[in-house]
Every structure is written in C-alpha cells, then in structure tokens.
Structure 1
Amino acid sequence: MSATLSTPFTFPSSLAPYNIPAELYLSANPGLTGLVVSSIIIHNNRVLLIQRAAHDGFPLKWECPGGGVDTTDPTILHAVCREVQEETGLKVTTLGSKVDILDFEGRDGAKWRKITFLVVLDDTEDPVVRLNAEEHRDAVWAAAGDVGSGKCEGRYIEFAYGDQKQLVMDALSANNR
C-alpha cells in the first residue's frame, strides 16, 4: 500500500518522504507529538518575510510563512502549500527542497518538529501578497543585503526565531549559485 497521493504541485524526489500523512510520519518518529512546516519563498533573488500581528505570540517579529500540519492535510507537503496560501494568498505550484529540520519542546512539554521547505516562484510572475490580518501585519520582499542588515524598505527586521535569519541567508545564497 502506498501512502503517497497525487498532488496539485510538483516537487523533487528528495521530498518524497514528506508526501505522506502527518500521522504516518509521526508513527515513524516516536517521541514526536506534532509537526510544523515553514516555507522560505524566493522570487527574483528576494525572500518573502511576514510580520506577526501585535496580539500574537512573538508580536511584531518577522518570519517565513508556515504553521501547524493539520489532520485534514493529506500530506506534509500539502500542509506547506495550504499554510502559504492561508497566510499570503500565494499559490504554490512547485516545492524546491527541504531546507532544515528543527526539533523543539512546546510550552506543554510536547515534542514538535519544524520542517522548512524552499519555494521558488516563477520569475515572470509578479506575486501579490494578501496577508491574513488575524495573523500578520506586514510583508516585504527582502534581498540578502536587507536580511543581513536587518532593515528592508524602512522596516527593521527582527526575526521571531533565532536561527531563521541564517536559514534565510543560506537559502538566498544557494539560490544565487
């Protein structure tokens, strides 16, 4: 029996281990309670950063789109595409690669895994970002220099998570090769 499903998006074979339901992934990784996905979205050598809402956790900090994998998501890869669309209005048609895996402990002591994926948008598109105002307040397309300096289009960029700045820099650097 195959656990993989057909998808409305394309992805390289290296992502096949994530084209399965979260329950199957969690059963193969005992000790994990849940999964979170994140996406580093690159367009024309710039990365999409979104600012968290003032009333949310990590208020007004910047991050890449993502969130929890739901039981209704057919696969982990579907969760990435759903989260991107919910948070930014962008439709993912191609996933690039896995960028990072980070295990962390939740507030209640639960063990979580965050999997970050690369999304490269077609250079001919002019993506229009539509934020979910309940979750995010602002968005910018930042070049590597902007990320490095912590300032883009007059906004100060302070990341919600310590390792995210380096992940974004590494992804931008790899994309420029």
Structure 2
Amino acid sequence: MSPPYKFTFSPSLSPLTLQTPQTLSSKSVPSIAHLMTSVLVLRQQKQPLSPPQILLLRRSPADSYGLKWEAPGGSADLTDASILSAAARELFEESALGESHFHAVLGMTKQKAEELFSSSTAEEKRPENWGIDPEDEQAEDIEVHVSEEMKILFTTFHEPDGIWGKVNFLATVAEDAQVEIDLEEHVEWGWFTEEEVRTGRALRSSVITETIFPDEELSDGGKRVMEFTSQAVWGSLLEAFSVGRELGIIV
C-alpha cells in the first residue's frame, strides 16, 4: 500500500535514498541513539515585493517544550526506507502537506545564532525566554559520511538517554498546498517572514490559531511573541532563508 505522501529531491541528495536511517545513524561519530528530521519549508509569496516565508508550528502546552515554535519534523522510524522518507512522512503527519521537494541539508549554524545573540539589535528585540542555549544542550554540528562523494551535517544534542541527532532539510511544497495540523501535537501554525523569525515578533495575522488558551501575555506592541524550542533551531530557521536565496528558491 502506497503511503499518503509523495516527495522528490534534488540529485545531490540521491545518496540518502540508498541507506536506511539506522544505517545512517551508525556512521555517526559519536553514535546516535535517536535520529530525527526537521523540514524547513520555504515559500515565495505571489504578491510583488512580498518577502518569502517559512512554515512553523507551535507545540502543544501539554508536550515537552510546551507552546514553543519549531519546524515540522520528528523521529525516524524503523519502517522508514530512508531519512528522506522519514522527513516526508513527518511533514505529512504534522502539517498534512503530502507533496514536497527536498533541496538540501542544513546544519544548525551555531555561529550565526551566537553572532545574532551577541548583537545589540537582537538583544533589544528578542523575547526573554528565547530558547535553550547551544552550550546548555551541548549542541553541535558533526559531519557524517553518507558515501565517498557525500557528507552531510547532523545537529547533535545530549539528552539523558543518549545523543540525539537531527537532519535538517530545506524543502518546498506546491503553491496551493493547504496546511492542517495535528491538535494533539501542535496548537497554532503560520507562515513567517525572516524578520518575524529574527526578532521573534510576528503579526497577529500571521498566526493561525486552532485552539483557544490564555496567551495574551505573549504580546509586544500588538505583535505576537514567538519563543522557539532552542537557539539552535532559531539559527537553522535563519540559515534556511540564506541558503534558499543562494539556491534561487526564494528572492
């Protein structure tokens, strides 16, 4: 039986289709206890001079990192044929986006996050509780050899049950694709500009609310304050815009 999602990918990612996530994890040094994916979905708005946007979801208050914002993603399963298939499945399960195209693999860009956090502008605009510091979770990017011709970046985090690894994919979906979230996992979603991500302040019209809960304390001058799951995730989101421009996905 065919899965309810389809995906395509750039030729440069072809080696990733030849190995299961478990095989990929075994090539990591240090070894990965849990392998995850994150899908950074960009879109270019149709209106002239409108800035590009990225898809983000807000976690359920009952979940870990409750009410924090993140990109769609999750753990690879034993049934996933490849890490690309795992990413496409998680994207579908969390956002109902059933057709996607994967362009590239991104790291967490720890240096970018640290540079932005040290700037006075970011200090003035960012929320008080911005997210876990990379040092606190021992987050770092490591190179993993997929084949003789290909190396990719795993973003690794130290957890009590071992080292977790995440593969961040840059992706696009059809222009008319409709998002629908799983309310057991997420309570809000939206398409956000680079400026909204960088400052952590979003127009209220950017946020699609699927449930009702007290939230007015998360406001700043009429804008919604966005708190991310970690500073590493925040750096990855900003890197997606940068690489998206380099690849011609957005302008």
TM-score, normalization by structure 1: 0.87
Letter in 1 for 2:166: K
Deviation at 1:127, TM superposition (A): 2.7
Letter in 2 for 1:43: R
C-alpha distance in 2, partners of 1:131/1:111? Answer: 28
Q: Which residue of 2 is the match for residue 15 of structure 1?
A: 13
Per-residue Cα deviation, 1:24-78 (whole angstroms, up to 9, x for no partner) = 2123336222210001001111000100000000000000000000001111100
C-alpha distance in 2, partners of 1:29/1:57? Answer: 26
Q: 4+ residue runs of structure 1 moved beyond 6 angstroms?
A: none
Q: Which aligned pairs between 1:125-136 and structure 2 lie closer than 5 A?
A: 125-136=175-186
Q: Which aligned pairs between 1:37-52 and structure 2 lie closer than 5 A?
A: 37-44=37-44, 45-52=52-59
Q: Which residue of 1 is the match for residue 128 of structure 2?
A: none
Q: Which residue of 2 is the match for residue 36 of structure 1?
A: 36
Q: Which residue of 2 is the match for residue 4 of structure 1?
A: none
SS of the aligned residue for 1:102 comes to strand
Deviation at 1:106, TM superposition (A): 2.1
Which structure's CA Rg is the greater one? Answer: 2
% same residue: 30
Q: Which residue of 2 is the match for residue 161 of structure 1?
A: 230
Deviation at 1:149, TM superposition (A): 1.8
- Structure 1 unaligned blocks of 5 or more: 1-6
TM-score, normalization by structure 2: 0.63
Deviation at 1:8, TM superposition (A): 4.2
C-alpha distance in 1, partners of 2:245/2:27? Answer: 35
Q: Decide whether the 8 Å contact of 2:96 with 2:179 is kept in 1.
A: yes
C-alpha distance in 2, partners of 1:8/1:88? Answer: 14
Of 53, 64, 67 in structure 1, the residue corresponding to residue 60 of structure 2 is 53
RMSD: 1.7
SS of the aligned residue for 1:126 comes to coil
C-alpha distance in 2, partners of 1:148/1:76? Answer: 28
C-alpha distance in 1, partners of 2:58/2:184? Answer: 11
SS of the aligned residue for 1:86 comes to helix
- Structure 2 unaligned blocks of 5 or more: 45-51, 108-153, 205-223, 247-251
